[in-house]
């Protein structure tokens, strides 16, 4: 490592403050760097100056770290430590909110779109499995019978892709269908009949997605008894160009619902609306 043609002086290492480095101080009598002291390790130079400042880790402004971080076990992530430092709220209200959040996360995960299901079954058959498994019922084109669960929760749907079958009608009445679940019902090019009656989670966003997805095919829509629908959702129905039947039973709470019905009839001349008595306003 060192040349033998020049004298080498070794300084006493025991009295040198090594700054937690396994080092030895050596003085080279070299023409280029006469008398300059250097820090050496077995592999490379760590510090070239005796006065070099210690390296300190700079924390983000938003991060706080207690003195106990030095005792953190190896393998524990930073997020885990931050979570434990925040403390816990064991009030009944906080626990209930936490349980509701976890329940919502599980429902979203359960109804999220699955590419593997579509790859194996195709869009129509995958949507049929998705709905019937959750208590809905479906009917295919050129078929008279509805497919739904039996008393033992079993149902007769092909587990393999079958060409030439298309969903024509969906009855999801009472199913806890959420916005993410509607993505599992996309690309249904022949859907004409849809009911989401009594679905507690159907809101204006869901109606907007339905109207965008089936704007050229849907002829019947039942959104009765959906408490989260407002006037915005009713206005979105005007995008369904082929719609001829609309059920609005139980939506009397919507502001200006009668006026909205008149406007829908003007936008869709072939539309017949049931569940709302709006003819008095029309005569006036």
One domain, residues 49 and 121: no
One domain, residues 278 and 155: yes
One domain, residues 189 and 270: yes
Domain count, the chain: 2
One domain, residues 136 and 11: no
Q: Which of 26, 42, 65 is the last residue of a domain?
A: 65
One domain, residues 169 and 55: no
**Is 108 part of any domain?**
no
**Is 138 part of any domain?**
yes
One domain, residues 261 and 141: yes
DSSP readout, the chain? ---SSS-EEE--STTS--TT---EEEEEE-SSSEEEEEEE-SSS---S-TTPPPP-PPPPTT----GGGGGPPTT--HHHHHHHHH-----HHHHHHHHHHHHHHHHHHHHS--HHHHHHH-HHHHHHHHHHHTT-EEEETT--SPB---TTS-----SS--TT--EEEEE-TT----HHHHGGG---TT--EEE-TT-TT-BHHHHHHHHHHTTTT--EEE-TT-TB--HHHHHHGGG-TT--EEE-TT-TTSTTHHHHHHHHHHH-TT-EEES---HHHHH-
One domain, residues 130 and 256: yes
**Is 248 part of any domain?**
yes
**Is 178 part of any domain?**
yes
One domain, residues 122 and 262: yes
Decide: residue 189, CB within 10 A, 0-12 exposed, 13-18 middle, 19+ buried: exposed
One domain, residues 275 and 135: yes
One domain, residues 153 and 58: no
- What's the domain range around 60? 1-65
pLDDT one digit per residue (tens) for the chain, 284 residues: 444 444 444 444 444 444 444 444 444 444 455 454 555 555 444 444 445 555 566 667 666 666 666 666 666 677 777 777 777 777 888 888 889 889 888 888 889 999 999 999 999 999 999 999 999 999 999 999 999 999 888 999 999 998 989 999 999 999 999 999 999 999 999 999 999 999 999 999 999 999 999 999 999 999 999 999 999 999 999 999 999 999 999 998 898 999 999 999 999 999 999 999 887 655 44
**Is 74 part of any domain?**
no
Q: Which of 65, 85, 106 is the last residue of a domain?
A: 65
One domain, residues 131 and 265: yes
**Is 92 part of any domain?**
no
**Is 175 part of any domain?**
yes
Q: What is the pTM of this model?
A: 0.66
**Is 76 part of any domain?**
no
Q: What is the pLDDT of residue 84?
A: 72
Q: What is the pLDDT of residue 11?
A: 45
What CATH code is carried by the domain that includes residue 264?
A: 3.80.10.10
């Amino acid at each position: 490592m060192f040349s033998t043609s020049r004298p080498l002086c070794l300084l006493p290492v025991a009295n040198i403050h090594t700054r937690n480095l396994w080092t030895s101080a050596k003085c080279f009598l070299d023409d280029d760097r006469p008398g300059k002291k250097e820090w050496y390790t077995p592999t490379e130079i760590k510090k070239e100056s005796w006065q070099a400042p210690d390296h300190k880790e700079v924390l983000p402004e938003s991060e706080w770290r207690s003195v106990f971080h030095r005792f953190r076990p190896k393998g524990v992530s930073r997020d885990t430590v931050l979570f434990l430092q925040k403390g816990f709220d064991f009030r009944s209200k906080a626990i209930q909110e936490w349980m509701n959040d976890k329940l919502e996360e599980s429902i979203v995960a359960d109804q999220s779109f699955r590419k593997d299901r579509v790859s194996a079954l195709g869009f129509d058959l995958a949507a049929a499995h998705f709905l019937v498994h959750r208590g809905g019922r479906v009917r295919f084109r050129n078929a008279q019978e509805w497919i739904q669960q039996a008393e033992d929760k079993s149902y007769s749907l092909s587990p393999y892709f079958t060409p030439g079958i298309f969903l024509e009608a969906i009855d999801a009445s009472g199913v806890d269908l959420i916005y993410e679940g509607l993505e599992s019902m996309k690309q249904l090019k022949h859907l004409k009949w849809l009911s989401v009656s009594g679905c507690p989670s159907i809101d204006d966003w869901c109606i907007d997605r339905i109207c965008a997805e089936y704007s050229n095919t849907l002829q019947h829509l039942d959104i009765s008894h959906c408490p989260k629908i407002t006037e915005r959702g009713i206005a979105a129905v005007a995008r369904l160009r082929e719609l001829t039947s609309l059920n609005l039973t139980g939506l009397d709470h919507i502001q200006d619902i009668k006026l909205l019905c008149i406007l829908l009839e003007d936008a869709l001349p072939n539309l017949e609306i049931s569940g709302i008595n709006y003819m008095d306003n029309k005569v006036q």
